[in-house]
């Protein structure tokens, strides 16, 4: 893993904790280390986006989303990072900056931008997210359920 640094809220529990598979994935996204990101995922991974009901299936599809996220200069702040054998929860502040690449991806996905997305480039955003994730027999992430309030993201853009 190249230059992946886990960022946390400074809690004692997180300072000495062993990173979970999912926190490694998020830290690698923030470091734009997509080889490490891809190594965490099962080929048949499924990402259930609970706020919108969208489901992305397969490593190629999930990697498109994570690559777009990496382009938005992530600065994740971990709140909770817990695992229980083959599943866990990961709660964090997703902090980023809107970039050209993120806007292009959002336009491709037909995101309901609150205004002209080109006017959002360079703006920071911060949204709390929680993932419940599961590992397959090989220790790869095969299921991710994402919970966040998409309305709170849109409300931040001026």
pLDDT tens for residues 52-94?
Answer: 889 999 999 999 989 988 888 888 888 888 888 899 999 988 8
For the entire predicted model, the pTM comes to 0.83
The confidence score (pLDDT) of residue 7 equals: 53
Stretch (H or E) spanning 43: strand 41-49
Q: What is the pLDDT of residue 42?
A: 98
Residue 70: per-residue pLDDT: 82
Position 2 scores a pLDDT of 46
Please give the pLDDT value at position 39.
96
Q: Would you state the pLDDT for residue 8?
A: 53
Q: Are 105 and 122 in contact (CB under 8 A)?
A: no
User: 12-156 has which CATH code?
Assistant: 3.10.450.50
pLDDT at 151: 80
Residue ranges of the chain with pLDDT lower than 70? 1-17
CA distances from 74 to 116, 131, 135, 157 (A): 22, 16, 24, 17
Residue spans of the domains in the chain: they are: 12-156
SS3 9: coil
Instruction: Determine the pLDDT at residue 35.
Output: 95
């Amino acid at each position: 893993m190249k230059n992946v640094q886990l960022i946390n809220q400074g809690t004692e529990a997180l300072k000495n904790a062993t990173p979970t598979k999912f926190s490694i994935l998020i830290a690698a996204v923030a470091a734009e280390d997509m080889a490490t990101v891809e190594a965490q995922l099962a080929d048949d991974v499924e990402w259930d986006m609970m706020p919108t009901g969208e489901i992305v299936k397969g490593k190629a599809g999930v990697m498109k989303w994570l690559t777009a996220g990496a382009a938005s200069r992530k600065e994740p702040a971990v709140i909770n990072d817990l695992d229980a054998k083959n599943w866990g929860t990961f709660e964090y502040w997703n902090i980023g900056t809107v970039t050209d690449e993120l806007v292009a991806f959002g336009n491709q996905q037909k995101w309901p931008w609150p205004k002209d997305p080109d006017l959002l480039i360079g703006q920071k955003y911060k949204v709390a997210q929680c993932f419940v994730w599961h590992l397959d027999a090989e220790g790869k992430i095969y299921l991710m359920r994402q919970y966040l309030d998409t309305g709170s993201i849109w409300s931040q853009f001026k």
